[in-house]
Amino acid sequence: MANCFALKTTGDGNCLYNSFSKLFSGNEDLADRIRLLSALELYQNRTLYANLSHLEEVAKHPETGNGNLEHLFTCLLQDGSLNIYDVAKNREDALTYEALQTCHAGNWAGMFNIMAIATVFNISIYSVYPEACRGIRPLLHRKIDPVSKTDSLPTLEVAIFLDKRWGFRFQKRFNVYTQSFCSLGYKQASGAQKESSRKRNALDFGKIQEDLKEDCGCYRECNSQFLNTEIVYRWRVKYHSLPQGFQQQTKLLEMYRDSWSSDCHFVEGMFICRVAWRKTLLRISKRTYSRMVERASSGVLCLANVPKTKSDTRGQICIGFMENFVKYYGDDHPENGNTYLPPGMTLKDVYDRYRDKYKDSKPLKLARFYEIWTKHFKHVKHPKCSNMAKCVVCVFAAELLKSTADPQIRETIRSDFSEHLERQREARQSYYERRDEAISNLDVTSIIVDGMDQAKTHIPHFRDMPKNLDPKNLLQSHITGIITHGKGTKIYLDVFVNFLMVGHTHEDIDQRFSLISRRLKRKPTRSIPEFAEEVQQSMDKISVKGVNKVYDVREWILKRNQDMFALKFKAWPKDIEWLPSGSCLELFKENKDGSQLVPQGVPQVVEPDWAKLELDLVKANLKNIKDLYARQYK
């Protein structure tokens, strides 16, 4: 085998057939045909395969635990075929079922499928099995020749390495090697799970012999009735070879109903107690046995696999609740893309809100709620601490909840905190509604204005700040972001001004700031023009304008307004009543004809106060890093 090598193929349950397809054609296109040829060969020549003469050499091997040919035949069968044989006691019927199962794509292959392929292609196959299960190893570790070999045809020698997991009886993986061709390598099924220690111990012949030596504790001395390990091994394979879950439990119910008789179990002509049936024959736990007896007493015949998917109605309602909750209560981080719940709020608090809202429509259990949250909302975090700006009320409420254990006080705090969160949700929802209205209605314009964190916009800015640069004496710059939905050039009759709660202002404009922040982390900026260029390059569809002067709009308006005036306002966006109650006073003074004296002309320009910048300290600070500047900035 020194000159052999392996090629990997798709691990989809068709590994054996994919291997020989790749062996002869270089790809896996012939896998389905080879599978059907194997099934056809096994069905048409089932009489030859049912003949036990090809197992006589294996029976004579000194390592063979049981040389009975009938027993060796059952060891070659897969679980479904073995059930047919146990009922019908007919080898050809079992092989017929084996051939039928071979026709289904994705079904794992057994030893008879390897024997059929050897006959189909007239090749000799070397089956290599690890140092395990010595009682049946000679059956799996041997050369397999075609059942009806034609000497005139050339023979290709191929070696198949069966699954190397300890104690496993049927192969689920193949390593196929050849001296003149390369075929399937190593199947690594993406969903394959490692065999549990429970199954490995149950099918180990050494463990079986140890279990037979133990005393069951009854007057029958049940374990002494088992003359060899064959019966125990066969019964354990029926149960432990199935996937854990509903298939194993259904099989266990079937075996219990077939063997239970009055106050004991009847197994292959022997009456054994419950302990021997549970512990020795099947090696299952007392809890598993008790649960199975309870199901059998209740008339349960089988268990169905009902996967928990998001397609169920209650699950969809729960997902919708979570989406709305995260949208209106969560704060989007401007840099990492995560969403953070308000400070002090846990996932249990979210579940309590969901349960209270749907208490009349059978809400999901807490475990199912956690499962849906973990699967669909991995980006939503509820850390104990974060570097985001936090709402003072939220932080204060969280500290109060930590400092008191009185149930009534905690309930009062939670109630007030819930009202606070509901207020901020209404403020956000009001913005979303007006934004959506502006997108669909040309007569409406929505504008959101916010400022970026000034700690990230100082000039100069480097990826790695030098130590000799004093961060306190840098040129401060300010970025004010404006997102406009809808455009209008006419005079607007109504203007609505909303303010989001401090600490709950992480909206779509913050996402734009995050793009600028990530850009500045990678690109150094040494001057205002460079800074403006990097902001321009941080995203598409952005207009960057430098503001060198501002108009004194406040003084311009106040000259024309009355000494006393009032505007209509609401305490919260969703309130119905406008305050103050009654008629609203006019904003501007009136002319002689009764019309309002609207401000005319252009407001005066506010002169910048450069003294506040302390430019001398900034210049002195920049001298420490003059080597980092390009020549044009010196």
What does the domain layout of the chain look like in residue ranges?
15-178, 197-297, 316-429
Q: Does domain 15-178 have CATH number 1.10.3470?
A: no
The mean pLDDT values, 10 residues at a time, for the chain of 634 residues are: 62 81 79 89 87 77 74 82 80 87 85 87 80 73 76 52 44 42 32 59 84 86 81 85 82 87 84 90 90 84 59 81 84 71 79 87 86 87 64 79 81 82 80 81 84 76 70 76 78 75 70 77 80 82 81 72 57 69 55 65 75 70 64 45
Q: Give Cα 257 to chain centroid, integer Å.
A: 40
pTM of the shown model: 0.39
Cβ-contact 531, 525 below 8 angstroms: yes
**Sign of torsion, CA 400 404 405 406?**
negative
Q: Count CB atoms within 10 A of the CB of residue 571.
A: 10
Contact 193, 169 (CB under 8 A): no
**Residues in contact with 629: Cβ distance below 8 Å, sequence separation at least 6, in sequence order:** 460, 526, 622
Sheet of strand 157-161: strand arrangement: 142-144, 124-128, 157-161, 175-178
Q: Which secondary-structure segment (H or E) carries 485?
A: strand 480-485
Q: What pLDDT is attached to residue 505? A: 67
Contact 352, 363 (CB under 8 A): no
State whether residue 259 is helix, strand or coil. helix
Cα dist from 507 to 6, 327, 450, 529, whole Å: 55, 10, 10, 28
The pLDDT of residue 225 is 85
Which residues are within 8 A (CB) of 257 and not within 5 positions of it... i.e. 6 or more apart? Answer: 296
612 alpha carbon, distance to own chain's centre: 53
Helix 347-357 with 366-376: angle, nearest 10 deg: 120
Phi, psi of 160 (to 5 degrees): -120, 125
Q: Would you state the pLDDT for residue 236?
A: 87
What does the pLDDT read at residue 598?
66
Q: Which of 163, 174, 56, 195 is nearest to 117 (CA)?
A: 174
- Residue 240 has a pLDDT of 86
